[in-house]
Amino acid sequence: MAGAVAVGGGGGRKALDTEINMIPMIDLLMVTISFLLITAVWVHMSRVEANAQVPGTDTPPCEGAECAPPRVMHVEMRDPAKFSLWWSEGGTELARTEIPRKDVVDTIGKAKVVHFPGLEAEVAKEWGQWGKHKGTADRELDRLVLHTDDAASYAQLIGAIDAVHGVQRPIALGKKTGTTSAFHVTFAAK
């Protein structure tokens, strides 16, 4: 495969006809196309499927008592003066309580660490009353949704999560018994 190119001579020169070899250009084009096709497949492999369902578990449809909606604890920390805690099951609110919020800020090195006294104790009390997954053989964790505003600092978020994870429950680890957090924490989507 070659194409003829006429190079005109001017000023007493003789015109030259030259053939350009098209095979290297076609080889380059084929490599480029194959590279684009291969990378297009890899782009789909790295995608994360996300939706606005909190917590977003995909479970097959079921029937009977095992299909009851999950019981979820909510902690709202949008108000700087209080925490609102409530339990919901499906669309029904089961119980609600509010506790005063006091941000205790400690400085460790250059980092600020926020603690919320009373939040861990109140979450533990609520979990003791309403939590479903308490047995040592139960591998499931209760779910907790943390509602925050956009102005919440990273230190405040970590302080709230630390308070929630401070609530521990026993779990069977083979022949031994250990402890784990009572909750799986997710964030609310607006």
What's the pLDDT band for 186 if we cut at 50, 70, 90?
A: confident
Tell how far CA 28 is from the center of its chain.
Answer: 41
CATH architecture of 70-187: 2-Layer Sandwich (3.30)
Phi–psi pair at 158, nearest 5 degrees: -65, -35
Average pLDDT, the chain: 79
Sign of CA dihedral 84, 94, 190, 140: positive
Tell how far CA 78 is from the center of its chain.
Answer: 20
- At 88 the pLDDT is 86
> Is residue 9 scored above 70 in pLDDT?
no
Give the list of residues 6+ apart from residue 101 with CB closer than 8 angstroms, or none.
Answer: 77, 79, 80, 81, 82, 83, 116, 119
% pLDDT > 70, the chain: 77
**Which has the closest alpha carbon to 72: 22, 25, 131?**
131
Sign of CA dihedral 183, 110, 106, 157: negative
- At 69 the pLDDT is 78
